[in-house]
Structure formats: structure tokens, C-alpha cells
């Protein structure tokens, strides 16, 4: 069946949180030492890992981890704990880093994000953004004028369901007014985004590489599925 709508994941698919100059320069570990490059890289990985649990958590924080994308308060709680366990003992520094994590303007778009969104919308198809997220990502699109190409945003913390649960995919499809069989889901997680297959959607997997290393994977996915 022809594709009439495309759902895009956000983190690792359309945008990526990448370290900006100065973010971690003054962060100090338990010994009062600044973080070396390796430690900084690992810290960023833990802040942005979409699915995997990167540190050992107690029962209270484990509950918050599993429900972080349903509730902004739980998201904040568990990520401050992840930062603490990852070598950021000072609460003020952890809070400053967390503020960067949830600031849409700090996220970097992939080189072909605009072209992919525009290509879907200009072809008469509907483009939607479907994300497991605990904060509003619409400003990342609005400040660039890209919200004009997005018909619907379906965000887990607003819906109360997370990928790969079928409810969030069903909500996104209904918002776009299409059937699952004519919808393509594009995402960077086989586990989470690939759950769209259970409803009958087609699925395209992209690699969440740094933005400079992935120039045209979105356009490639659209071509592969006959959207371009």
C-alpha cells in the first residue's frame, strides 16, 4: 500500500543532543577534578541514551526511569540521579546540565531534517513527530519555521503512553487521519520505534550517529519506501 503519512521520531532521528562548548568545562567529579574527554563523552551518552539504563538505580529511581517519559517530574528526578551517579556530585551543576538536556534550542538537527519534513509535506502526505519525551519539543521546530511542515506532534508525556506501546502509535495515526497500513515510522530504535510494525505500519531504521556523520539518512529512508 502506498505511503500517505510519515511519523518521525525526535531524538537520534530528526535532532540530536550534542555537547556544546562550555557545557562540561567546569563540571567536577567527587575528587574535585574536571572531567577528561572520555568522561565527558560517556556523560553525554548517558544523558541521551534513548532506551538503555546506563547506571544502577535503587527501586525508587528505577520506577522513575521506567516512567520518565510519561511524567516530567519523574524525568527530572531520575536524570538528576543518573548525573549524580555518573560523576556530577554537585546538585547545582547537575541541574544546569539537565536544563540543557530539556532545552529544545540546544538540540542540533540532522542536515536533512528540513528537507525530509518539507519533502513529505510538499508531496501532499502528512508528516508527524512521535516521541518518547518529557518536555515540549515544538519550539525546536517553531524557531526554524519547520512546524509548518508537521501536521501533528504526539508526545508521550502528553499522551500517557510510550513507544513501543500500541496506544501511542494509534494516537499518532488517528491524529493524522490515516490508516496504519499507509503510514511509515522512521526512528533510531528497533525496540521502541519498531513497535509501529505491530499495528501494520512500515518501519525505517536510521542510525543515531553524530549529525556531522549522517548527512542524508532520512532522505534515504524516504526514497527506500517510495515517498521520494
The per-residue pLDDT for range 146-205, each reduced to its tens digit, is 999 999 999 999 999 999 999 999 999 999 999 999 999 999 999 999 999 999 999 999
pLDDT tens for residues 37-57?
Answer: 666 666 666 676 655 666 789
pLDDT tens for residues 129-151?
Answer: 999 999 999 999 999 999 999 99
Domain ranges for the chain: 5-16+107-225, 17-105
Per the CB < 8 A criterion, the answer to whether 175 and 154 are in contact is: yes
Per the CB < 8 A criterion, the answer to whether 95 and 203 are in contact is: no
What is residue 159's three-state secondary structure?
Answer: helix
- CATH H superfamily, domain 5-16+107-225: HAD superfamily/HAD-like (3.40.50.1000)
Which residues, at least 6 apart from 21, have a Cβ–Cβ distance to it below 8 Å?
A: none
Amino acid at each position: 500500500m502506498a505511503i500517505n503519512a510519515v511519523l518521525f521520531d525526535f531524538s537520534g532521528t530528526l535532532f540530536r543532543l550534542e555537547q556544546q562548548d562550555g557545557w562540561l568545562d567546569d563540571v567536577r567529579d567527587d575528587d574535585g577534578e574536571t572531567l577528561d574527554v572520555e568522561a565527558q563523552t560517556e556523560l553525554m551518552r548517558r544523558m541521551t541514551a534513548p532506551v538503555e539504563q546506563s547506571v544502577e538505580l535503587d527501586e525508587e529511581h528505577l520506577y522513575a526511569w521506567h516512567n520518565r517519559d510519561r511524567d516530567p517530574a519523574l524525568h527530572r528526578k531520575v536524570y538528576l540521579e543518573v548525573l549524580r551517579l555518573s560523576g556530577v556530585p554537585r546538585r547545582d551543576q547537575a541541574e544546569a546540565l539537565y536544563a540543557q538536556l530539556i532545552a529544545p534550542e540546544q538540540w542540533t538537527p540532522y542536515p536533512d531534517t528540513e528537507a525530509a519534513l518539507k519533502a513529505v509535506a510538499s508531496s501532499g502526505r502528512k508528516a508527524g513527530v512521535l516521541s518518547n519525551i518529557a518536555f515540549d519539543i515544538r519550539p525546536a521546530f517553531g524557531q526554524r519555521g519547520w512546524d509548518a511542515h508537521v501536521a501533528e506532534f504526539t508526545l508521550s508525556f502528553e499522551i500517557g503512553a510510550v513507544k513501543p506501546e500500541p496506544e501511542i502509535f494509534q494516537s499518532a495515526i488517528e491524529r493524522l487521519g490515516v490508516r496504519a497500513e499507509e503510514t511509515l515510522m522512521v526512528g533510531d530504535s528497533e525496540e521502541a520505534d519498531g513497535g509501529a510494525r505491530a499495528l501494520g505500519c512500515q518501519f525505517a531504521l536510521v542510525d543515531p550517529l553524530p549529525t556531522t556523520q549522517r548527512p542524508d539518512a532520512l532522505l534515504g529512508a524516504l526514497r527506500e519506501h517510495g515517498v521520494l
